[in-house]
Structure formats: C-alpha cells, structure tokens
Amino acid sequence: MTGIDYSQKIPNNVDLAGDKRLQRALEAWQPSYIDWWQSMGPTDFNQNEIYLRTAISVDKDGWAHYGFTRMPEYRWGIFLNPAEPGRTIGFGDHLGEAAWQQVPGEYRNWLRRLIVTQADTEPASVEQQRLLGHTAPSLYDLRNLFQVNVEEGRHLWAMVYLLHTYFGRDGREEAEELLQRRSGNPDHPRILGTFNEPCQDWLSFFCFTMFTDRDGKFQLLALAESGFDPLARTCRFMLTEEAHHMFVGQTGVGRVIERTCEVTKEHPGRDVKDFGAIPFELIQRYINYWASSSTDLYGAEVSSNSANFFGAGLKGRAYEDRYSDHKALEQTYELDRYTDGKLVREIVPLRNAMNEVLRDEYVKDNQKGIEYWNRICEKAGVDFRFRLPHRRFNRKIGDYSAGRFDLDGNLLTEAQWNARQADWLPSEADRAYVKSLMKPVTERGKMAGWIAPPPKGVNDTPVDYEYVKL
Ligand SMILES: [Fe+2]
Ligand SMILES: [Fe+2]
C-alpha cells in the first residue's frame, strides 16, 4: 500500500518530501495551477460540494476515495504505478537494456516533446468543457463532467511532475506554458487540433469522451511501454482513471440513443424532434464529426517521427507484449496511400507506420462502442444501426486530408463531397437543435427529456443521489 500523506500540500506516492527542491518547485507551480483552474476550469461551480472520487493510492482495489469536495480543494496528487524491479526496455533499438530511470541525454528533446504533447491535452479538454455545467441533463451527469475535469487536472499534474523532476529549467518553462496556451485561442492555441474544437453541448461532450478520451487511452498505452520508466509508470496509473472518462462517453451516447428508441416506439412514424429527442441520423453525424477529428490525433500514416520514437524506445505500440518481434526492423506495413489524386497500395517499413498501427487499435476499440450502441437499438426493436466512419473520412491530417472520402472510405470528387457532406456532418441546424435542448435539470433523480437515466448510480449510490449540492 502506497498511501498518501494528506499533511502534505501535494498528495503523492513519489516521496516528494524527500526532495525538497522538487517539492518547492511544485508548490510554486500549484498557485498558478489554481489560478488557471479558477479562470479556465468549470465556471461557477467552484463553491459547490460535489461527490467526487480522488486517487489515494495505486492499489488495484481501493485506489480511490469517494466523498464530497469543492473542486478547487480537490487533492490533485502525483501517483506512479510501483516500479517493476529489473524492468527492461521492451522494444526498439535498446530492447533488453535496463529501463531508464533518468532521461537519456540523446533523446531528451524527443521525450520532452512527447510529454508536453500529452500534457497539453489535459488542461485543453477542461477548457473545452468549462461551460457545460450550466446545461447538464441531470445531477448524475453534472457530477460525471466534474469528475472528468478534475481527473484531467490530475493528469496535468502527473505530466508536470515529470517535467519538473527530469527536465530542469526547460521542464519548468514547459510547465508554465501548459497553463498559458488556451483551447481555441487563435494566437496561443493548444497543440493538437481536436483540442481546439468547441465542445458546447452535451452530445458533443459524450462524443468527445467516447472518441477523444479514447485517443488518450491509446496514446497512454503506447507511452506506458516507454523505456523511460517514470513515464511508463505515470501513464499506467492514468489509464486507471481514463477508463471512467470513456465510460461516460459510451454510456452517455448510449442513453441518448435509448431515449430516441423509446420515443420512436411510442410515436411511430413521427419526427422524434416533436417530442424533444435527438434523431438517430443527427447522432450519427456527431459521431462522424468527433470520430474523424479524433482519428487525426494519431498523426500522419507514414512518419519518420513515429519511427524515431519507436526506435529510441520512447513510445511503443499499445500492448507491445502481444507482438513477438519488438524491434520491428525487418517487417513492413501495407496501406493505401493517397497520392496524385488516387489511392495506391504501398508497403512501408513497419517502424514508419507506427502511427497507423496505433490507429488500427483505436479503430477496433471504437467499433466495439458502435456495436454497444447498436445492441441498444436492437433490444428496443428499432431498425436504425450506427456505424463508424472510415478512417479516411473527413481527415485534416495525413495522406487522406488531401482528398475527399465517403463514410466507406471511397474516393469522391469535390463536387460529390459538397453534395453529400450535409448528410454526414452536423449542420448548423443540427447544432441549433441540440443547443435548444440544453436546459439544465437539477432536481435529484430527474433527467432531461433527450436522455435516458443510467441503470445505476456512481459507486453504489442510487441514481437520485444528491451528487452536486447546489
Ligand atoms: Fe487525461
Ligand atoms: Fe480523459
């Protein structure tokens, strides 16, 4: 049991007290962080008591404590999974060598870039979601939003710990910068595209936690393999919390679908909008938008950076132990590249395709979510079926961003795309309709009319529990 010492300002299992210089650096960063939270975190709910879980250890059973807390008083702690004695590097050119406990000098810049890129997404998502508290469909959902927000805050802490501890002065500068970039700010944006997209309604929030947090899952799985041991251990623990974020997304969209199924059955042949539900086709367009945007987060299909990161032992594949060859030097990867206006089958060295390998795992995982949603339709006896857009659809990054593709990945002309695009992506009218539904429901146990209740409450509480004391 690696418990935390609540007498310390920053809960941790990294013996912060034993490193006074580091402790002081983090304690100096903490007020800037709180300032950021107050100005860029959830608006107006900082005085309310909320039923939140807090990480208190890294034990498999009982790592979290549930209780009422005000968000600014949340104990954002630093937790690493326990070290595996004798751990060796599991892939790349340094396969079998002892895992690094310090930053290897020759890879310092690459490693810092990987950590900063991951770190930047954490505060970004809090910024994107800051207004959603005002339109939550229930207290249960309001609490889940804040749970996700405080944990993204903790993930920022986790990454800042690495920057402060292992990267000296430039690490401290990066940590400051993380509190200065702003989601969607044209002059000083967050690093990755999706994290600058507005997320202003709850259907977007559920799609974001389904598809964008799931990108986070796979980035963390790849970094959890890192030869830089502190990064690997940090990411492993972050994955524990991340699972809940994807649960919020998958079941959130699922409950919207369930409600639409109910209305469809109660009023056959009628427009579900007349009864305040969200049409299946509209939900599908939101899925298309967020899934395609999040698919971009893996970067270009063929990438020398991905080869470098893998070769150096910094970023592996998700579930690296499922593979038999961890050097990936002799193998190849086959894909359809988009060149000169057409798709051409190409074989590339596997290391250069590591972004695509990670994206493959992501697509598979997304597909499971789609199947979960279709089971809801099936159970309700409704014919509509959801689908995942093809990875080539609506891309802004990589090969496919240069062309136009339909939901099945077929190449389209610009004219064909223009003619069909409104069927595939949310229109202004879609967004306006969803927005019109965004009215807060704050009575215990009550749900907005566009979403079904969850089957059970948080941590064995009843669904009508007073999750947020307003
Ligand atoms: Fe996170
Ligand atoms: Fe997350």
Pick the ligand that lies closest to the CA of residue 154: 1
Expressed in angstroms and rounded, the spacing between residue 213 Cα and the centre of ligand 2 is: 5
Expressed in angstroms and rounded, the spacing between residue 334 Cα and the centre of ligand 2 is: 31
Expressed in angstroms and rounded, the spacing between residue 279 Cα and the centre of ligand 1 is: 30
- pLDDT (tens digit, 9 = 90+) per residue, 290-339? 999 999 999 999 999 999 999 999 999 999 999 999 999 999 999 999 99
Expressed in angstroms and rounded, the spacing between residue 304 Cα and the centre of ligand 1 is: 26
Assess if residue 2 is contained within a domain. Answer: no
Expressed in angstroms and rounded, the spacing between residue 122 Cα and the centre of ligand 1 is: 5
- pLDDT (tens digit, 9 = 90+) per residue, 90-148? 999 999 999 999 999 999 999 999 999 999 999 999 999 999 999 999 999 999 999 99
Assess if residue 401 is contained within a domain. Answer: yes
Expressed in angstroms and rounded, the spacing between residue 192 Cα and the centre of ligand 2 is: 15
Mean pLDDT computed over every residue of the chain: 95
**Per-residue pLDDT, 2:** 44
Domain of residue 270 covers 16-469
Expressed in angstroms and rounded, the spacing between residue 148 Cα and the centre of ligand 2 is: 6
Expressed in angstroms and rounded, the spacing between residue 9 Cα and the centre of ligand 1 is: 22
Expressed in angstroms and rounded, the spacing between residue 46 Cα and the centre of ligand 2 is: 20
Assess if residue 8 is contained within a domain. Answer: no
- pLDDT (tens digit, 9 = 90+) per residue, 355-395? 999 999 999 999 999 999 999 999 999 999 999 999 999 99
Assess if residue 130 is contained within a domain. Answer: yes
Expressed in angstroms and rounded, the spacing between residue 153 Cα and the centre of ligand 2 is: 10
pLDDT category of residue 397 using cuts at 50, 70 and 90? very high
The span from the CA of 9 to the CA of 26, in Å, is: 10
> What is the CATH classification number for the domain harbouring 210?
1.10.620.20
Expressed in angstroms and rounded, the spacing between residue 411 Cα and the centre of ligand 1 is: 35
Distance of CA 107 to the CA centre of its chain: 26
Assess if residue 7 is contained within a domain. Answer: no
Ligand 1 (ion): residues with CB under 5 Å are 122, 152, 155
Assess if residue 9 is contained within a domain. Answer: no
Domain count, the chain: 1
